[in-house]
Amino acid sequence: MESLEKLEAAVTLVKESRAVPLSASCVIHRGELLGVLDEISKALPNDFASAKKLLAHREQIIEEGRQSAEQLIAHAREEVARMVEQTAIVSAAREEAARLVDEAHNKIEREREEVDAYIDSRLATLEVILNKTLDAVNRGRERLAGASDKDVLSQLSED
């Protein structure tokens, strides 16, 4: 406010004035001080009018501030709700991803067990076939060995 600045100038003028020796009085240039006081008296009505306007609009200014604060709070609440929702979505997505990974691991383990069982059954069948083949080979060798012995014995007896 302009009048307050002028009052401060008047006080400064008095403080900086020359003191009268052995007294509390001072020497001030009358014209200067009257000029400052005149400026103060001219500025006061304008400052008072501005203050009255401000007081008259005080409720409106307070209401505008309140509405602005309510809007900020509402916006902040919306932002918090959005962030919480995103957190919930991310959390649900992570849980779903973990569930899918576990499901895939379980499926892989079941399929591995099925493949191992199939291979084991095929190897068991092959083992049976190979054992029968080996038995047949052993029998054949035994016959051959028995026939050779007989041939050798029969040749010896003929001689």
> What range defines the domain where residue 47 resides?
1-56
Confirm whether 11 is domain-assigned: yes
Confirm whether 9 is domain-assigned: yes
* pTM value surpassing 0.75: no
pLDDT at 1: 62
Confirm whether 62 is domain-assigned: no
Confirm whether 33 is domain-assigned: yes
Confirm whether 119 is domain-assigned: no
Report in angstroms the alpha-carbon separations of 94 from 8, 29, 87, 99, 128.
Answer: 68, 84, 10, 9, 51
Per residue in 98-146, pLDDT (tens digit) is 999 999 999 999 999 999 999 999 999 999 999 999 999 999 998 888 7
Confirm whether 1 is domain-assigned: yes
Confirm whether 132 is domain-assigned: no
Domain count of the fold of the chain: 1
Per residue in 19-58, pLDDT (tens digit) is 778 787 878 777 887 887 888 788 777 877 887 887 888 8
Confirm whether 108 is domain-assigned: no
Tokens linked to 64: 């505008």
